[in-house]
Amino acid sequence: MESGTDPRLPTLLGITLRRSMVVGRMSLVIGGGMVVFYSALFGIAGPLFVSVGTVILPVFAVSGGIGGALVFTNDRTKGVLEYLVAYGISPRRILANALIAGIVQVTIILGVGLAAGLTAYLLSGNALTSTLPEILLGYTFPMSYLSVTLMTTIGVFWTSLSSPRSGLNSPLGVLPLIGVLPTTLLMIVAIALGAEASRVLLVGELVVFVLLASLLARTDRFMPTERLLSPA
């Protein structure tokens, strides 16, 4: 029963996205607020926005993208996943929806944050350079997406394999810490190494990608249908 969803069934992506915004609104506001604040701060500081600000942004952006994992955990506890599986929605589809919800939230946070940062940067009399889009497209966006996808995947698998519980003792309680770990470590190492920073960031992205791909390849094992059921 771990096979894919029948193509005639709805994807439920739209409503999952909407629910992730509602359920994860607090983390979205806090994460978004921090990204806007630091982005604007670095924008005013000028060149630091390009060299440091763009590397820091993923740390805060990821912490606001927990909505997909929240929806999954709530749905499991409330017995919603049990219905979806009974109607033929596959665990893979459920996971995909959670991952996309996290990515969309991070996109919103980064979009708003970068708009604020760039505005501050330009209003402070700084000129745009080719380095900025290179870093944004080469690190800020891909690393944010990789990190939020890794965080959501770990959250979904961990929730699936553990008994329902709440608070800091639950997977969700520590999930934001897991999410920001790769970006924070990379940021510290990159800043410490200075000249080798771009290479460190690239290698770091590759490591996260490989880790994520190896986890997703084991979806059926870490997310068996029976682990999506509500407590009997």
| Residue ranges binding other proteins (CB under 8 A) | 1, 6, 8-10, 12, 15, 19, 22-23, 71, 74-75, 78-80, 82-89, 224-226, 229-230, 232
For residue 222, the minimal CB distance to other proteins (Å) is 13
For residue 229, the minimal CB distance to other proteins (Å) is 7
For residue 66, the minimal CB distance to other proteins (Å) is 14
How many CB atoms sit inside 10 A of residue 56's CB? 22
List CB contacts of 97: < 8 A, sequence separation 6 or more: 11, 12, 13, 16, 68, 71
For residue 90, the minimal CB distance to other proteins (Å) is 11
Q: Is 92 exposed, middle or buried (CB count within 10 Å of its CB: 0-12, 13-18, 19+)?
A: middle
Which CB atom, from 19 or from 155, has the smaller least distance to other proteins?
Answer: 19
Residues 80, 82, 88, 93, CA torsion sign? positive
For residue 149, the minimal CB distance to other proteins (Å) is 22
- Hey, what amino acid is at 229? L
Which CB atom, from 46 or from 224, has the smaller least distance to other proteins?
Answer: 224
**Which among 161, 9, 162 has a CA at the least distance from the CA of 84?**
9
d(CA 119, CA 37): 12
- β strands within 6-128, DSSP E: none
For residue 30, the minimal CB distance to other proteins (Å) is 18
Which CB atom, from 42 or from 72, has the smaller least distance to other proteins?
Answer: 72
Which CB atom, from 75 or from 205, has the smaller least distance to other proteins?
Answer: 75
Q: Are 160 and 227 in contact (CB under 8 A)?
A: yes
Which CB atom, from 83 or from 128, has the smaller least distance to other proteins?
Answer: 83
d(CA 81, CA 217): 21
Which CB atom, from 97 or from 126, has the smaller least distance to other proteins?
Answer: 97
Query: Which helix (H) or strand (E) segment is 82 a member of?
Result: helix 80-86
